[in-house]
């Protein structure tokens, strides 16, 4: 069996954590959470490299690219941060309604799992009552023309249609990566790399995530080219948020210099495969 050349990300993760933590104190939530997600993804990739599970690395990188684009978008459009939080609340409410809908279908087809529909409805309504902001509660009630949020058999189809067709809930802006990218400023020296990350790397990573037949039957990706592609994506994922933050935060020069030195080492051999 051929093994992937070992790539240890411990130093990168430590250096990235030091810089991101300093940034987090200055920018607050929700963007700090996105930086933490990038760190978490790097830790997963490091573990997957050690385990020689290379396809899964691309799946994690796909998630990281989505996070980077969202972070850069929110950094450019600071006014969208509250909308991101608000729409995330509505997505959680929608997801729990999908649970209710699926349980109802199971019950309508004979209830083989002996489900209690009211339990699912109670859980869904609890999300509305305890997890939604007052503003979002009022929005949902207004859209449904209800005084109190209750899901019943009588209004089930109306509530279902709301979650299927409401523009905010059907596809919030943070789930439309290409649109977010189109609204990012074109930073000098950065746009080509960011476009490649979204339209080339993300495309391949997505095909792995969705089980593209020929990618998976070829077996483990073990050559030097694969490692260089992974390193190139990681370097972009780590550094692009910093480029979009330029002028907005202050970073300890020693920590930043160390991070740059490590990321610079990730990319010197990549372009020979272009």
| Unique residue bearing structure tokens 């729990």 | 96
Kindly state whether residues 108 and 149 are assigned to the same domain. yes
Kindly state whether residues 263 and 133 are assigned to the same domain. no
The DSSP call for residue 201 is I
Q: Could you read off the pLDDT of 69-93 as tens digits, one per residue?
A: 999 999 999 999 999 999 999 999 9
Task: Give the domain range for residue 73.
Answer: 10-77+185-273
Kindly state whether residues 125 and 195 are assigned to the same domain. no
Tell me the backbone φ, ψ of residue 267, rounded to 5 degrees. -115, 0
More confident residue, 34 or 217: 34
Q: Report the length, in residues, of the chain.
A: 274
Kindly state whether residues 193 and 144 are assigned to the same domain. no
3 has pLDDT over 50: no
Residue 257 placed within a domain:
yes
Kindly state whether residues 256 and 128 are assigned to the same domain. no
189 has pLDDT over 90: no
239 has pLDDT over 90: yes
Residue 4 placed within a domain:
no
| Domain total of the chain | 2
Beta strands (DSSP E) in the chain are none
Tell me the backbone φ, ψ of residue 135, rounded to 5 degrees. -60, -45
Q: Is the peptide bond before 30 cis (omega within 30 degrees of 0)?
A: yes
Kindly state whether residues 68 and 103 are assigned to the same domain. no
Q: Which H or E element spans position 172?
A: none
Contacts of 116 (CB under 8 A, 6+ apart): none
Contacts of 37 (CB under 8 A, 6+ apart): 63, 64, 67
How many C-beta atoms lie closer than 10 Å to residue 4's C-beta? 21
Average pLDDT for 157-176: 95
Contacts of 146 (CB under 8 A, 6+ apart): 155
| Last-in-domain residue among 135, 151, 174 | 174
Average pLDDT for 18-38: 96
| Last-in-domain residue among 149, 174, 199 | 174
Contact present, 39 and 13 (Cβ < 8 Å): yes
| Last-in-domain residue among 174, 200, 235 | 174
pLDDT of residue 220: 52
Q: How far apart are CA 123 and CA 121, in angstroms?
A: 5
pLDDT tier at 210, thresholds 50, 70, 90: confident
Q: Could you read off the pLDDT of 129-140 as tens digits, one per residue?
A: 999 999 999 999
Kindly state whether residues 145 and 193 are assigned to the same domain. no
* Mean per-residue pLDDT over the chain, rounded: 89
């Amino acid at each position: 069996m051929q093994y992937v050349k070992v790539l240890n990300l411990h130093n990168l993760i430590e250096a990235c954590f030091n810089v991101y933590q300093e940034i987090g104190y200055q920018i607050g939530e929700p963007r700090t959470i996105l930086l933490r997600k990038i760190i978490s993804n790097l830790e997963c990739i490091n573990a997957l490299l050690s385990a020689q599970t290379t396809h899964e690395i691309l799946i994690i990188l796909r998630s990281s690219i989505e996070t980077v684009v969202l972070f850069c978008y929110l950094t450019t459009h600071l006014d969208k941060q509250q909308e991101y939080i608000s729409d995330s609340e509505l997505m959680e409410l929608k997801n729990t309604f999908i649970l209710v809908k699926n349980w109802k279908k199971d019950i309508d087809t004979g209830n083989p799992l002996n489900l209690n529909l009211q339990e699912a409805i109670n859980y869904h309504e609890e999300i509305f009552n305890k997890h939604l902001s007052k503003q979002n509660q009022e929005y949902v009630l207004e859209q449904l023309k209800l005084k109190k949020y209750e899901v019943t058999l009588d209004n089930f189809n109306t509530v279902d249609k709301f979650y299927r067709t409401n523009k905010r809930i059907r596809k919030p802006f943070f789930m439309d990566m290409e649109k977010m990218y189109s609204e990012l400023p074109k930073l000098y020296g950065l746009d080509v790399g960011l476009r490649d990350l979204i339209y080339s790397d993300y495309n391949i990573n997505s095909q792995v995530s969705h089980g593209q037949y020929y990618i998976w039957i070829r077996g483990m990706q073990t050559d030097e080219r694969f490692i260089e592609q992974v390193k190139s994506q990681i370097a972009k994922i780590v550094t692009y948020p910093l480029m979009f933050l330029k002028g907005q935060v202050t970073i300890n020069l020693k920590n930043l210099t160390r991070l740059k030195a490590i990321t610079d080492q990730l990319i010197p051999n990549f372009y020979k495969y272009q």
